[in-house]
């Protein structure tokens, strides 16, 4: 099975990747079909593993996926230049209205981690939400600031300037991070706010999760936010973060699953607005506070997109149906959390609602 280490060895860039390697899914009358998607870098390793693992299912359909960030994925979805979009941030109300008949399909769950490069420090750091906000606001500018030292009394912190690293592209990872900071810091909410792109008070930008990871690994005294899978792959140190219950939680499979369990029973139907869906800063003693869904975007009436014919519509739905059910077995080894059954049930209902020229695509 493909693992994340392979991406480092092969030097695959997540910035503007367009994979032309075949992915095989069921199609109509064994007709060759090419599916084009674009969007979030967050789920790319999982999507590419699905590509590899699904080759044995049916050799009739190839997949091109451009890992360009959630902002680009939403834009291309709305412009109908791709067959599906991928985003870690749900459509805004404006985007949802513009699309007309979009559906959100959660494909996996992950978490943002605070990754850092402190050459002198081997003990894992502990951070709170307000301290993280002040670091990215530029109010805490030194690693040995008293507020950081208070949280890490046994760590010999260097008297070095903090260099923050953020995403320079439209990013669902940014949306999740800024959504969290807006909840725990009134100043952040007022000064910066949340979104796929924001005006950063300080720091340097880099494109994609991979770009931020590389900047942190290559530059001492940096701190930035990346998806957990990328931190694990690159061996980057990351902090434990204090949750709503006051516990310092290390991001992991279990702590991310704990975070989503409290939200999974209150989700909307796939065809409704997901604008206000968030699982950051959740309750629960073991919940990691910066977790999120990652979504696939489709039109409920697939003929809305002129590039989709009946064969392609069938191929898209068959592949996604597999990805959100059998394909979930490949999530955990890559650092993602498989979808709870309650979310799978919502997805299955959404997929059954999809039509082409008014006719249901899934018939079972």
Beta strands, E only, the chain: 17-18, 33-39, 61-67, 84-87, 102-116, 126-127, 163-167, 204-206, 222-227, 237-238, 240-242, 248-249, 291-299, 355-356, 359-360
Judge whether residue 267 has pLDDT over 80.
Answer: yes
Lowest mean per-residue pLDDT among 79-93, 94-108, 220-234 = 220-234
61 and 50 both lie in a single domain: yes
Judge whether residue 253 has pLDDT over 50.
Answer: yes
101 and 174 both lie in a single domain: no
94 and 124 both lie in a single domain: no
Pairwise CA distance, residues 130 & 39, whole Å: 30
Domain presence at residue 285: no
83 and 175 both lie in a single domain: no
Range of the domain at 157: 112-260
227 and 300 both lie in a single domain: no
80 and 149 both lie in a single domain: no
Domain presence at residue 97: yes
Q: What is the pLDDT of residues 180-239, one digit of tens each?
A: 999 999 999 999 999 999 999 999 999 989 899 999 999 999 999 999 988 888 889 999
Strands 291-299 and 248-249: unpaired
162 and 135 both lie in a single domain: yes
26 and 151 both lie in a single domain: no
Domain presence at residue 125: yes
Domain presence at residue 286: no
- Residue 182's pLDDT is what? 97
96 and 227 both lie in a single domain: no
Pairwise CA distance, residues 273 & 268, whole Å: 7
Domain presence at residue 19: yes
φ/ψ bin of 134: left (φ > 0), alpha (ψ from -120 to 50), beta (otherwise): alpha
Q: What is the pLDDT of residues 137-150, one digit of tens each?
A: 999 999 999 999 99
Question: Position of tokens 């796929």?
Answer: 196
Lowest mean per-residue pLDDT among 92-101, 139-148, 328-337, 348-357 = 328-337
Instruction: Please compute, for residue 336, the number of CA atoms within 13 A of its CA located in the half-sphere on the CB side.
Output: 26
Number of structural domains (the chain) is 2
How far from 37 is each of 48, 59, 72, CA to CA, in Å? 12, 19, 11
165 and 207 both lie in a single domain: yes
Domain presence at residue 283: no
Q: What is the pLDDT of residues 4-32, one digit of tens each?
A: 434 333 333 333 333 333 333 343 445 78
The counts of H helices and E strands in the chain are 13, 15
Question: Position of tokens 């697939």?
Answer: 302
The size of the chain, in residues, is 364
92 and 123 both lie in a single domain: no
135 and 239 both lie in a single domain: yes
Domain presence at residue 284: no
pTM of the model: 0.83
Domain presence at residue 282: no
Report the CATH number that the domain containing residue 202 is assigned in CATH. Answer: 3.40.190.10
């Amino acid at each position: 099975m493909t693992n994340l280490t392979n991406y480092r060895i092969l030097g695959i860039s997540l910035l503007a990747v367009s994979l032309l390697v075949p992915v095989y899914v069921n199609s109509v009358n064994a007709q060759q079909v090419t599916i084009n998607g674009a969007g979030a870098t967050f789920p790319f390793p999982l999507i590419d593993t699905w590509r590899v693992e699904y080759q044995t299912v049916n050799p009739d359909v190839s997949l091109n996926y451009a890992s360009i960030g959630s902002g680009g994925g939403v834009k291309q979805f709305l412009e109908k230049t791709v067959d599906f979009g991928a985003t870690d941030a749900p459509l805004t109300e404006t985007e949802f209205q513009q699309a007309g008949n979009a559906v959100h399909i959660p494909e996996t769950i992950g978490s943002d981690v605070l990754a850092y490069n402190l050459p002198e420090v081997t003990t894992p750091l502990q951070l709170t939400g307000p301290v993280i906000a002040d670091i990215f606001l530029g109010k805490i500018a030194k690693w040995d600031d008293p507020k950081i030292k208070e949280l890490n009394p046994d760590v010999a912190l260097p008297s070095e300037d903090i260099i923050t690293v953020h995403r320079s592209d439209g990013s669902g990872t940014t949306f999740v991070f800024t959504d969290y900071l807006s909840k725990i810091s009134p100043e952040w909410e007022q000064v910066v706010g949340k979104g796929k792109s924001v005006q950063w008070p300080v720091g340097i930008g880099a494109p994609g999760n991979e770009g931020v990871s590389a900047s942190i690994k290559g530059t001492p005294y940096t701190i930035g936010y990346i998806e957990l899978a990328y931190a694990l792959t690159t061996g980057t140190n990351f902090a434990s973060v204090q949750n709503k219950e006051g516990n310092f939680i290390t991001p992991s499979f279990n702590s991310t699953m704990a975070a989503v369990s409290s939200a999974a029973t209150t989700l909307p139907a796939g065809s409704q607005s997901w604008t206000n869906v968030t699982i950051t800063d959740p309750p629960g003693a073991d919940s990691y506070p910066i977790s999120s869904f990652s979504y696939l975007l489709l039109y409920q009436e697939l003929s809305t997109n002129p590039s989709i014919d009946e064969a392609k519509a069938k191929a898209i739905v068959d592949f996604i149906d597999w990805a959100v059910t059998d394909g979930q077995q490949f999530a955990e080894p890559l650092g993602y959390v498989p979808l709870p059954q309650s979310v799978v049930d919502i997805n299955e209902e959404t997929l059954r609602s999809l039509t082409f020229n008014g006719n249901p695509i899934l018939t079972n």
